[in-house]
Amino acid sequence: MRIAHIALADKYAPSMVAKAEQQLRALEEAYSQRRDRKSVEASAREVVGTAEEARVMAVKQKAEDDAQARVAAEKRAAEERAVRARADAESEGRRRRKPIRLANKPKPPKAAAERMKQQAERPLRKPRVRNRKPTRPRCRLSAAAGRSSRSRASFQR
């Protein structure tokens, strides 16, 4: 019975669980009344069989429910992807149409003439040069020379 409860048989197969519990109560009553051993064993087998049927039914029903939930989730995800694709296509279409409209729009000749005049009046700028301090070169030779003088000093002591 515990195995059937763990498999959620009381949720998916409540009638079978109720039948198994009723048989279990009858078995316990027969056992407490010290009836013959063979009838108690037969009742115990019957209870176990009913509980196993309830468990199997619960496992099948749960698998079916899980499959339906998975299919529903996949369907929702596909719908969301389709909606997102349509929205992306619409925004891409709008984006592509927008520059065409701007390119076809005539520019006023006065504005272009003024812009060219302003650009011509601007003085040419010289590129900026940064003042950089010269740094001491670091190379292996200077580092090696420093090490050799240290080793000589320690050797002379």
Secondary structure in 3-state letters for the chain: CHHHHHCCHHHHCHHHHHHHHHHHHHHHHHHHCCCCHHHHHHHHHHHHHHHHHHHHHHHHHHHHHHHHHHHHHHHHHHHHHHHHHHHHHHHHHHHHHHHHHHHHCCCCHHHHHHHHHHHHHCCCCCCCCCCCCCCCCCCHHHHHHHHHHHHHHHHHC
Per residue in 88-120, pLDDT tens? 888 887 777 765 555 555 556 777 778 777 777
Looking at residues 13-21, what average pLDDT do you find? 91
Region 52-79 average pLDDT: 94
Q: Say if residue 63's pLDDT is above 90.
A: yes
25-29, 46-50, 104-108, 151-155: least confidently modelled range: 151-155
Between these two residues, 126 and 33, which has the higher pLDDT value?
A: 33
Mean pLDDT of the chain: 79
* pLDDT at site 10: 86
pTM: predicted TM-score of the whole model, two decimal places: 0.49
